[in-house]
Chain A
């Protein structure tokens, strides 16, 4: 964010638009998820020499100092360097440690730790539980690692979903296995128009459909969905039946029905209103587009009863969905 809003102000929607996934994570990840647990601590009775040996052997750059189990300070590599310059390695760690200790609760969000790191010249925070016991240490490096892991998890989740769905049919035995998706489409609801097609396209991709197949289905169903929104009296239903080798799509409604189906199929013929045309639809190309994207298409309609548009897309041997073939 270029214009950092001041800390006491409530962030406006305009600014919120610029919040990145990383910034969101600061409000999602808890300190206990990011911290290094089982922290190595020094005892107040130990010397700087012992501290130096511990830092070296464990490859750490700081540690909390405990006295009878309570945190009394934090010793960092900078403190060790100061004692080396004297040199004064035989002194107790309590001589060189920072004794004004800032701690953070394990339950807090990482954003609270970030605020401390930004405002105070410290590089590590001892993490305490509800009883004040030391349960971990948190550095900026720990936070970076936790964020990277969370970002990776985000992408893995979608991959996992895809993997699971793409093998959906594999272990199910029947004479004919299929998955049926149904969507109710409201008449006149342009704002949500396309939501069903969007969900179907995503489902097909997860099931392992190739991008070409998903695209053809997406476009055909989208045109059918828009038709239901534009032309029906009470909306309609989109029903998609997914089988490994074919996708059958039915878009049906209960009125008003099409008086002349043959005419409706002609490219450029449309009964859409001016308002619909202004939105970029109703050019009489919908059905033409659908027939271009599908392997078969039939349109049946009875005035006063309703219309049913049936579409089919066939999948080649290596393109089947839900049987574990990877999308190419």
Chain B
């Protein structure tokens, strides 16, 4: 799937128009905890998130994220857009919620790029 296909599926608005619409997206990941994203996301995924501060873009950059979709139409701060522009990461605003978006993208054939957390890494399994 390419960024332009993604835009259509999520009824999204591209906030940094100079971003590359032909960039390939290999899968998806949805999270609001940036540490969860850093812990689980594999490269070249689209990141769906409800957070809209600049750290979302920094996280995306560190984790080689192909595109960021902000859910529920939450308009981000200016700094977030500027950073996305500078780092060349497509930043997309979608009116839909997280569940709806995950469903839509999964249905469109996008696999999950969230790595399962192994037992040692998760306190919940203790």
Chain A residues with CB under 8 Å of chain B are 17-18, 20-21, 190-191, 193-195, 197-198, 201, 211, 215, 218-219, 222-223, 226, 266-269, 279-281, 283-286, 288-289, 292
Q: Are B61 and A198 in contact (CB under 8 A)?
A: yes
From B33, B49, B87, give the contact of A198 (CB < 8 A): B87
Q: Per-residue 0/1 for B1-41: is the Cβ within 8 Å of any A Cβ (1 yes, 0 no)?
A: 00000000000000011100000000000001111101100
Q: Which residue of B lies closest to A214 (CB)?
A: B64
Inter-subunit contact A285/B39 (CB<8 Å): yes
- B43, A289: Cβ atoms closer than 8 Å: no
Cβ B62 vs Cβ A280 within 8 A = no
- B84 CB to nearest chain A CB (Å): 12
- Size of chain B's interface in residues, with CB distance under 8 A? 29
C-alpha gap A195/B125 in the complex (Å)? 34
Dominant SS among interface residues on chain B: helix
Q: How far is the CB of A4 from chain B (nearest CB, A)?
A: 16
- Please, which residues of chain A bring their CB within 8 A of the CB of B121? 267, 288, 292
Please state if A17 and B51 are interface contacts (CB–CB under 8 Å): no
Select which of B56, B61, B122, B123 is within 8 A of A280 by beta carbon: B56
Identify 25 residue pairs between A and B in the complex whose beta-carbon atoms are under 8 Å apart, listed by A's number. A20-B18, A193-B55, A193-B58, A198-B61, A198-B62, A201-B61, A211-B43, A211-B64, A215-B62, A218-B63, A222-B58, A222-B59, A222-B62, A223-B38, A267-B123, A268-B123, A269-B123, A280-B34, A280-B35, A280-B55, A280-B59, A283-B35, A283-B36, A284-B123, A292-B39
Task: List residues of chain A with CB within 8 A of the CB of B122.
Answer: 267
Residues of B within 8 A of A283 (CB): 33, 35-36
CA separation between A21 and B32, bound complex, in Å?
33
Establish whether residues B35 and A197, one from each chain, have CB atoms under 8 Å apart when the complex forms.
no
With A266-B123, A280-B53, A292-B121: A285-B36 Cβ-Cβ less than 8 Å = yes
Instruction: A267-B122, A280-B51 are known; give 7 further A-B pairs, CB within 8 A.
Output: A21-B18, A193-B58, A197-B62, A198-B62, A219-B38, A280-B32, A280-B34
Residues of A close to B51: CB separation below 8 A: 279-280
Closest CB of chain B to A277's CB: distance in Å? 9
CB neighbours (8 Å) of A288 from chain B are 39, 121
Contacting residues, chain B, for A193 (C-beta < 8 A): 54-55, 58
The 6 A-B residue pairs with the shortest CB-CB distance in the complex, in nearest-first order: A194-B58, A285-B35, A268-B123, A280-B34, A218-B62, A267-B123
**A193 and B38 alpha carbons, distance in the complex (Å):** 15
Once the chains bind, are A279 and B63 in contact (CB under 8 Å)?
no
B100 at the interface (CB under 8 A from A): no
User: How far apart are B7's CB and chain A's nearest CB, in angstroms?
Assistant: 16
Residues of A within 8 A of B17 (CB): 17-18
Using CB atoms, name the residue of chain B closest to A215. B64
Contacting pair B18 A286 (CB below 8 A): no
- A269 / chain B contacts, CB cutoff of 8 Å: 123
Compute how far the CA of A197 lies from the CA of B54 in the bound complex, rounded to whole angstroms. 14
Nearest CB of chain B from residue A212's CB, rounded to whole Å: 9
Q: How far is the CB of A140 from chain B (nearest CB, A)?
A: 24
CB <8 Å contact, A281 and B62: no
Give Cα A280–Cα B123 distance, bound, in whole angstroms. 18
- Residues 45 to 74 of chain B near chain A (Cβ within 8 Å): 49, 51, 53-56, 58-59, 61-64
Chain B residues within 8 Å of A18, by CB: 17
- Which residues of B lie under 8 Å from residue A289 when comparing CB positions? 35, 38-39
Contact B35 A281 (CB under 8 A): yes
- Whether A191 contacts B54 by the Cβ 8 Å rule is yes
B113 to chain A, nearest CB (A): 13
How far apart sit A14 and B72, CA to CA, in the bound complex (Å)? 22
Residues on B with beta carbons closer than 8 Å to the beta carbon of A17: 16-17
